[in-house]
A and B are shown apart, each in its own frame.
Chain A
Amino acid sequence: MPDGTRALSRVVLETRDVGKQYKLDGVEVNALRGVSIAIRAGEMVTIMGPSGSGKSTLMHIVGLLDQPTTGEVILEGDDVSGLSPNQLSELRNKHIGFVFQSFNLLARTTAQVNVELPLVYAGISGSERSRRAKEALERVALGDRLSHFSSQLSGGQQQRVAIARALVNNPSIVLADEPTGNLDSRSGIEVMAILQELNDQGITVILVTHDDRVARHAQRIIHVFDGHVQSEEIVLNRILAGTALATLPAEEVAG
């Protein structure tokens, strides 16, 4: 979306020369080497690259799940490098929602309770929590699956529960690492439609994928290769999942 609004909006997340080294049996692996990216509020950005290029490592760092070896991560204008694990937990809880390839829902736990989880750690009271969890599940069209256990849901439904969990605490950023990787194409399109819808509502979405088709749901693509940013690309003919969904044969639209 190469228009003026993006240029005007503030930078919500930024990495400055971020490097990440792993030591494996004395051998140093440079998963990231000098990555500088800036994500603006309300953007939908894809981080794309081949397997092993460092996408997940970068996502963990911008998601405050991990600390860079070198460089800085700036969230909402504050440098977060050097914060304690507990401080990072609080920031994640407040600002970031995660969607993982493998859903990562709690087993033997209902959709409702799964979605409430971030609110529990935000210290929000029971009734408020259940109201907001219901609301979030309704937003992903699962208002009728509140008390289903995660194991009783299809993959697509599980991923939508995960999205509801990611957005329930009104984060500024939703990070999605291969969110369609474990889904059939229809469920994948549904998930992408929801992510685009969230983005339309103002939430910053960072997508991580190796799949060009998935990548082009975003407005911008950051290509990473071998631990560094290779190029950036503005998506010219963005795929709109909502439109794609409408053209699919009318089927029981999962709900």
Chain B
Amino acid sequence: MNFTESFRIAFRALAANKARSILTMLGVVIGVAAVILLVGIGTGVQDEITGQVEGLGSNLLFVVPGQYGGGMGGDQAPPSRRFTLEDSDLLARRVPGLDAVVPVIQASTTVKRGNQTVRAVVAAANEGGSEVFSGTLAGGRGYRRSEVQAASRVVAIGSTVRDTLFPGQDPVGKTVTLEGQRFTVVGHYESLGGGLAGDQDSQVYIPVTTAQRVFNLNYINTIVIKATDADRIEVVKADIRRVLTPRYGEEFTVFTQEQTLGLLSDLLGTLTYMLAGIAGISLLVGGIGIMNIMLVSVSERTREIGIRKAVGARTYDILSQFVIEAVGLSVLGGIIGITVGWGGAALMAKFTPVPTNVTPWAVATAFFFAAGVGVFFGVYPAWKASQLDPIVALRYE
């Protein structure tokens, strides 16, 4: 008997038990759809975040206190010493070939106006901030060098903050309250969309000196450096190390954009694999469902197997018939699952802020995994069926 024949027999059997076939398939459909959707989310988030980092430009360097190894292990000690504004001044003076040295403080806060409040993330920097933060002014201006030097209470606000506190109004020149202090709004930004990556629309930008004063800090979190020439990034990095080592020893780290990307994609890759793993478990459960139904089906059809053997079916004929049934269920379930998962991912990208990206690689993997599940969980019941003694099978009621 040839393969086409086994195929026809298997599909006739599946069609004869439509409700059961569909329910069995459902397990695989859900599993595969989950794999496609979750991996699609993982990949989409990864793409967006790395895209944002790349968008900053490859000539950026990030200097942070403390030692960070290559991996993402959790064994880093908290930095023993923080950077100060003095360090960023020193770098600006001593390292040649720089466009900007930007000391950065980040903090979360609430911004008030009258009885309206909104949660916001403070991104404090110097006048070079616009070089390293993305965002386009919708009106007004950013703070000036003189305002940084004077630690003026001026603020440029993101679109969410503006729309909450100044709905339909021009905020420029108005005041808001931040950490109990009155700030004058000097500018506001256009919406950046993308709800991930810390929601940049909820940020407020103030001078770093002002931030130190209102938050009562004497340190800064990070120093962001923009090199003039992206090709000289390694030279600049060496220069930074040379300047900071006498002060901090090994207790600081300089990240290039490439390294940051590497770390991020490590982390996000792990996340994607975790999502795939969770989804994979549901696929496995679907596979066990197939095995269960196939075992039931084999014992229900013992007599059929006996009849087939009596009229000449060999072990191989019965084996292939039942394996094809299992694989047919899982492949069909796989195809439907891919369609559902892909559709879900597309809808998600359209109607929620969560980005998704369904890659051909993920589709192919999910498909072959589903088929593999069918083979793996179908072989045992099929083997059992093929080993039945024809007489015992014929006598079976």
Q: Which residues of A contact B (CB under 8 A)?
A: 60, 63, 65-66, 85-86, 89-90, 92-94, 98, 100, 104-109, 117-118, 120-123, 165, 169
Q: B315 contacts A65, CB within 8 Å?
A: no
Q: A89 contacts B312, CB within 8 Å?
A: yes
Q: A108 contacts B16, CB within 8 Å?
A: yes
Give, as a whole number of angstroms, the nearest-CB distance from A190 to chain B. Answer: 23
Contact with A along B292-315 (1 / 0, CB 8 A): 000000000001101111111111
Q: How many residues of B contact A (CB 8 A)?
A: 23
Let me know if B391 is at the binding interface, CB within 8 A. yes
CA distance A93 to B314 in the complex (A): 10
Chain B residues contacting A66 (CB-CB under 8 Å) are 391
Q: A93 contacts B311, CB within 8 Å?
A: yes
Let me know if B355 is at the binding interface, CB within 8 A. no
Secondary structure dominating the interface of B: helix
Q: B312 contacts A121, CB within 8 Å?
A: yes
Chain A residues contacting B317 (CB-CB under 8 Å) are 121
Residues A123 and B391 in contact in the complex (CB < 8 Å), given A92-B312, A165-B311: no
Residues A104 and B5 in contact in the complex (CB < 8 Å), given A86-B315, A121-B314: no
For this complex, 15 residue pairs linking A to B, each with C-beta atoms less than 8 Å apart, are A65-B391, A66-B391, A85-B314, A85-B315, A89-B312, A89-B315, A90-B312, A92-B311, A92-B312, A100-B394, A109-B12, A117-B307, A120-B1, A120-B5, A122-B312
Let me know if B368 is at the binding interface, CB within 8 A. no
Q: B309 contacts A89, CB within 8 Å?
A: yes
Among B303, B311, B390, B394, the residue within 8 A (CB) of A121 is B311
Give, as a whole number of angstroms, the nearest-CB distance from A28 to chain B. Answer: 18
Let me know if B216 is at the binding interface, CB within 8 A. no
Among B307, B309, B314, the residue within 8 A (CB) of A106 is B307
CA distance A210 to B308 in the complex (A): 27
Give, as a whole number of angstroms, the nearest-CB distance from A91 to chain B. Answer: 9
Chain A residues contacting B12 (CB-CB under 8 Å) are 109
Let me know if B316 is at the binding interface, CB within 8 A. yes
CA distance A120 to B311 in the complex (A): 10
Kindly report which residue of chain A lies nearest to residue B6, judged by CB atoms.
A120
Residues A60 and B314 in contact in the complex (CB < 8 Å), given A121-B308, A123-B2: no
Q: A118 contacts B307, CB within 8 Å?
A: no
Among B312, B391, B394, the residue within 8 A (CB) of A93 is B312
Give, as a whole number of angstroms, the nearest-CB distance from A180 to chain B. Answer: 18
Known contacts A121-B308, A122-B312; 17 additional CB pairs below 8 A are A63-B310, A65-B310, A65-B390, A65-B391, A85-B315, A89-B313, A89-B314, A92-B311, A93-B311, A98-B310, A98-B311, A104-B394, A106-B307, A118-B312, A120-B9, A121-B313, A165-B311
CA distance A48 to B120 in the complex (A): 97
Chain B residues contacting A122 (CB-CB under 8 Å) are 312
Chain B residues contacting A165 (CB-CB under 8 Å) are 311
Chain B residues contacting A108 (CB-CB under 8 Å) are 16
Chain A residues contacting B9 (CB-CB under 8 Å) are 120
Chain B residues contacting A60 (CB-CB under 8 Å) are 391
CA distance A118 to B317 in the complex (A): 12
Chain A residues contacting B312 (CB-CB under 8 Å) are 89-90, 92-94, 118, 121-122, 169
